[in-house]
Structure 1
Amino acid sequence: MNAMSAFTGVGPLVRFVLRRDRVYLPVWVLSLVVLTYVSAAAVRRTYDTPVEIASYAVNMGTSPASIAMGGPPVALREIGGILIYETSLTVLLGVALMAVFTVVRHTRKEEDAGRVELLGSTVVSPHAVITAAVLVAAGASVLVGAGVTWSFLVEQQPVRESVLFGAAVAAMGIVFTGVGACAAQVMSHGRGAVGLSLAFLGVAFGLRAIGDVGENAWSWLSPMGWSQQVRVYDDNRWWPLALSLVLTAALLVGTVLFEGRRDLGAGIVPSRPGPPSAGRTLAGVVGLAWRLQRGAVVGWVVGIWSMGLLLGSFSESIQNMIEDNPTLAEYLQRAGVTNIVDSFFATSLLLLGIGASGFAVASALRTRSEESAGRVEPLLATGVSRARWLFGTLLVTLGGTTLVVASGGLGVGMSYALTTGRSSEMWRMTGYALVYLPAVLLLAALVVLLVGWLPRASGAVWVAVALCFVVGWLGSLLELPQWAADLSPFTHVPAVPAVPADDLALGPVLTMLALAVAALAAGWVGFRRRDIG
């Protein structure tokens, strides 16, 4: 195959991908850019005096929990360093997720649907589909980086530093473009490709956090660490981004080699052949739903539990930081924070709960994806009723969501128990984590409501998940109006364990449970009345 024919059809496929994603990609890009701009503007308003900037450097730059989330404490004695410290986590994770979802959406998921085979019957090169998807995802990452640069320039930051931070963000997206492309060849299904990519992202975040907190070399094993090791406003070094480009090149070479070695519709990791006869559990809807989702349940439980372990391990460092810093202790006392460790755990459990909502929404959306793939109609043609199929599938969502939410609290409690020697902390933190379960289930019930009445719009619930994250992570910084904060169900959950168990207000929790049940019932009514498909 000559050089010209190797790219045959790539141009039209790029235009086709852009046509399909004419709403999807602009929403991703604009959301990340606007969020960065608004966050940067809010930071400048909050820390607008030398005294406040110096206080931030002392308080946040010495906090292990803050370093684990925000990255290495670089140049925190100037406003530019604080801007990056406050915005980098959100935009780096966001651009990575955008790249992975975009690539897998236009490669493995298209292959699962049989559309890649149709394209292959036309005059296109063997690697045209993956090339088009990579070009679009990488281009979108560059646009996010350019938008981040613009956001900092608008905030009157130096050009060199603004461009470097934008390049670091773009490099993160480009690396995970390669991760998504390679995972699409390794795994046999779209869900597996996304899961493998997210696992890689989780490992990258964990290595970076461990390395930054411990000030050791572990962060240099993480592509997320490379994007933050450019040390903007300090060393301003470009060379760590070369590591991102080298890894991307290696991933793309692996993608091409893997694609040439596998059959269409298969993956490098083959699907395991099933037993010659189905077991008793597969004879029912619940057993089938569990069989389809057990991998996702296990993956999410392990992931959220691991994140809980990481967050819980910072409890002793936080307590020591308060004891060694009387000024910070006095400041927190004036702010009404009586127990800094419990306040930290309250924020940790909130973020873990919002993370668990990702599983709940994805699991509930399986009802729509199974319907769109045409697998529901044959089931309903048998003795399975609509009610039995829908509620049997959602039973797995309920059980899986409960396990995922509880695993976060268990992870936090296990680390805290090892630190304090009190085994009861495991069960206390697990119980506190379950207080967030009604808020998570409410998002899943919203999926069912849309599946019942507006099935094509059911994916919009991901916007609600993103809103919950913004409110939970950046709400106080952005100074959102109360009505906007109230849109997140997590706003109405008592801040456990900062609030003693005896003082927990159960009214909001029970109200959210009632709303979830009502949304579920309304969704069932719509699903029963409309046509399948």
Structure 2
Amino acid sequence: MTATVTGVRTAGPPGSGGFVGTAALVRFALRRDRVRLSVWLTALTLGTLATAAQYEALYPTAEDRAGVAALMDGPAAVVMTGPRHYLSNYDVGAMLGHQLLGFAVVLVGLMSVLIVVRHTRTEEETGRAELVRSTVVGRHAQLASALAVAAVANITLAALVALALIAAGIDRISPGEALLYGLAHAAAGLVFAGVAAATAQLTAHSRGASGAALALIGVSYVLRAAGDVGNEALSWLTPIGWVQRTYVFVDDRWWPLLLCLASAVLAAAGGFALSTRRDVGAGLRPARLGRRHASDALTRPFGFALRLHRATLLGFGAGLFVMGAMYGSILGDAADMVEGVEQLQEALARIGGSSVAESFASMVMVVIAVVVAVHVVMASLRPRAEETAGRAEPLLATGLSRDRWLGAHVGVALVGGTALLLAAGLGFGLAGAASTGDGGLVGELVVSAAVHAPALWVTAGVSVALFGWFPRAGAAAWTVPAYAFLVGYLGPMLGLPEWMNGVSPFGHVPALPAVSMSWTPLIALTAVAAGLIMLGMAGFRRRDLEAK
């Protein structure tokens, strides 16, 4: 049942129109998201602070920083970082603006998109929006409250990042520069929040709304990269290019942020305008008519689950292939990049390997595996979303058993995660072979990516076990990839004790190609994963469904 938004009459103060109840919805949304937002803001702030401290420790002298600037002048490095103008005065602040800002605003954009879609399209998809709109709430209140929450999150992040950099007392970073750096995050986040407000009107599904917005973030990053190494006009077509062209800590230009604010307002206004042209729960893009008869695959649990995960799987596959290729493009310069950087050399030495390229590749594989683990957690927790949305109950009321239904989703997570590893390894190997001239790297890097599969299966097992026994605590599964990144990638550079890496399933994976193959830990991880999955399925069989 849906309710049309056309001609909705709302009560409230004169002139309030369709925004009645916005303040109450903002308070409610902030209450619901207090944990999520706290985690996002803390992680982004601490990540900035840790990176700044790392730059200070790794490059303490002007000569060290000049050497890094020379290496960052190559096309491959520019693609991964930002415009060359930052290299003119390459102190710690310029390093943050050059190497970190582009990646950070992608994460901020992700946060903003998820906030807006969660409080708009997801609410409609679950039927809660219709219930809320049956009260004294204006037709624009829900979208306005979602954008307000996104704005609060981004402005708070800007303040936290600025205060953290000021409190760190980093040499040559003034309070004004720290504030500009923080506001650059917020400005880009507001643009992508506005983009999500528009994409939420196009489709009836939250996955489609968030997927379209995230695709635009990816396009923005690609345009920025292409513009920085070629036609600079391309970089001016993307908010990521705008915030990087503040040249924070170098020229400190504030006016590019006005482009972000104007774009955010226009995108949000477009979202409001589009929302008046559709019904509650519907999207502007009409659903395609399906086939008269379902294919054989869709009549089977695994095929149906694969269809539900298909868009996300393809998006991650394309992104990971490009990510691997970007890292592979600088593999030939790895030895020059770490020359004279004592801490990084020590970290690579702890990994082992006959060459710096092999050690560097092993370190990069940890990052790739963590990104794949993000998809695995998403896919493994998809049954929880199906359950809470009320879609699992009618399926399980048929002859479909709980084990087959849950096993199909888990199978997609296991097989899909392994396929993503292979895609990333292939991109890494092809680009690495091109940059080093060693064709044998293609096979080596594909294998070194594939050996992380058992650790991914353990990650899926943790998610399934939580879903089966403690479904409300399923979000705790996100600690597995987060912890793996902390101890597996940052741990060697921060000098963390080795036992911390042993707690992570990824810490037991042989660091190919830097070391020789060892089958024992892989077999053990596979056994642990199987045990956790069976444990989760046993719990799911014993508990009640969350009925609607």
- Match of residue 6 from structure 2: none
Q: Contact 1:64–1:314 at 8 Å: present in 2 too?
A: no
Distance 1:474 1:351 in 2: 10
258, 266, 284: which one aligns with 1:250: 266
- Match of residue 405 from structure 1: 421
520, 525, 529: which one aligns with 2:538: 525
Q: 1:144 is matched by which residue type in structure 2?
A: L
- Match of residue 496 from structure 1: 512
- Match of residue 293 from structure 1: 309
- Greater shift, 45-54 or 257-266, is seen at 45-54
Q: Contact 2:422–2:450 at 8 Å: present in 1 too?
A: yes
3-state SS, counterpart of residue 447 of structure 2 = helix
Q: Contact 2:224–2:240 at 8 Å: present in 1 too?
A: yes
271, 281, 291: which one aligns with 2:297: 281
Shift of 1:255: 0.8
Shift of 1:51: 4.4
Q: Contact 2:343–2:493 at 8 Å: present in 1 too?
A: no
- Match of residue 32 from structure 1: 44
Q: 2:19 is matched by which residue type in structure 1?
A: F
Instruction: Give the percent of matched residue pairs that are identical in Structure 1 and Structure 2.
Output: 40
- Greater shift, 72-81 or 506-515, is seen at 72-81
- Match of residue 520 from structure 2: 507
Shift of 1:17: 0.8
- Greater shift, 178-187 or 408-417, is seen at 408-417
Q: 1:410 is matched by which residue type in structure 2?
A: L
Q: Contact 1:40–1:87 at 8 Å: present in 2 too?
A: no
Q: Contact 1:71–1:85 at 8 Å: present in 2 too?
A: yes
Q: Contact 1:332–1:338 at 8 Å: present in 2 too?
A: no
- Greater shift, 422-431 or 247-256, is seen at 422-431
- Match of residue 160 from structure 1: 176
Shift of 1:462: 2.1
- Match of residue 345 from structure 1: 361
Q: 1:150 to 1:245 in 2, by over 3 A?
A: same
- Match of residue 3 from structure 2: none
Distance 1:27 1:420 in 2: 40
Map 1:19-98 → 2, pairs under 5 A = 19-59=31-71, 61-62=72-73, 66-72=77-83, 74=86, 77-85=90-98, 87-89=100-102, 91-98=104-111
114, 118, 130: which one aligns with 2:143: 130
Q: 1:8 is matched by which residue type in structure 2?
A: V
Distance 2:343 2:369 in 1: 28
Shift of 1:209: 3.1
Q: 1:333 to 1:421 in 2, by over 3 A?
A: closer
3-state SS, counterpart of residue 236 of structure 1 = coil
Q: 1:166 is matched by which residue type in structure 2?
A: G
Shift of 1:263: 2.2
Q: 1:477 to 1:209 in 2, by over 3 A?
A: farther
Normalising by the residue count of structure 1, what TM-score does the alignment of the two structures yield? 0.89
- Greater shift, 483-492 or 259-268, is seen at 483-492
Q: 1:5 is matched by which residue type in structure 2?
A: G
Q: Contact 2:117–2:209 at 8 Å: present in 1 too?
A: yes
Per-residue deviation, residues 5-62 of structure 1 (Å, max 9, x unmatched):
2321111111111121122212222222233233333433444444444444445x34
Q: Any stretches of 5+ residues in structure 2 without a counterpart?
A: 1-8
Q: 1:223 to 1:82 in 2, by over 3 A?
A: same
Distance 1:531 1:44 in 2: 54
Q: Contact 1:185–1:255 at 8 Å: present in 2 too?
A: yes
3-state SS, counterpart of residue 325 of structure 2 = helix
1:189 aligns with 2:205: yes
Cα RMSD over matched residues? 2.9
Distance 2:159 2:385 in 1: 34
- Match of residue 201 from structure 1: 217
1:118 aligns with 2:134: no
379, 384, 402: which one aligns with 1:368: 384
Q: Contact 2:195–2:213 at 8 Å: present in 1 too?
A: yes
Distance 2:239 2:486 in 1: 24
Distance 2:436 2:159 in 1: 47
- Match of residue 113 from structure 2: 100
Q: 1:459 to 1:380 in 2, by over 3 A?
A: same
- Greater shift, 19-28 or 102-111, is seen at 19-28
- Match of residue 15 from structure 1: 27
Q: Any stretches of 5+ residues in structure 1 without a counterpart?
A: none
Q: 1:55 to 1:167 in 2, by over 3 A?
A: same
Q: 1:39 to 1:306 in 2, by over 3 A?
A: closer
1:378 aligns with 2:394: yes
Q: 1:128 is matched by which residue type in structure 2?
A: A
1:172 aligns with 2:185: no
1:149 aligns with 2:165: no
3-state SS, counterpart of residue 23 of structure 1 = helix
Distance 1:485 1:508 in 2: 14
Per-residue deviation, residues 181-209 of structure 1 (Å, max 9, x unmatched):
22211222111122222222222223333
Shift of 1:269: 2.5
Normalising by the residue count of structure 2, what TM-score does the alignment of the two structures yield? 0.87
Distance 1:331 1:364 in 2: 37
Q: 1:483 to 1:244 in 2, by over 3 A?
A: farther
Q: 1:312 is matched by which residue type in structure 2?
A: G
- Match of residue 5 from structure 2: none
Shift of 1:252: 1.1
- Greater shift, 133-142 or 95-104, is seen at 95-104
Shift of 1:139: 1.2
Per-residue deviation, residues 336-371 of structure 1 (Å, max 9, x unmatched):
575344444334433222211122111111111111
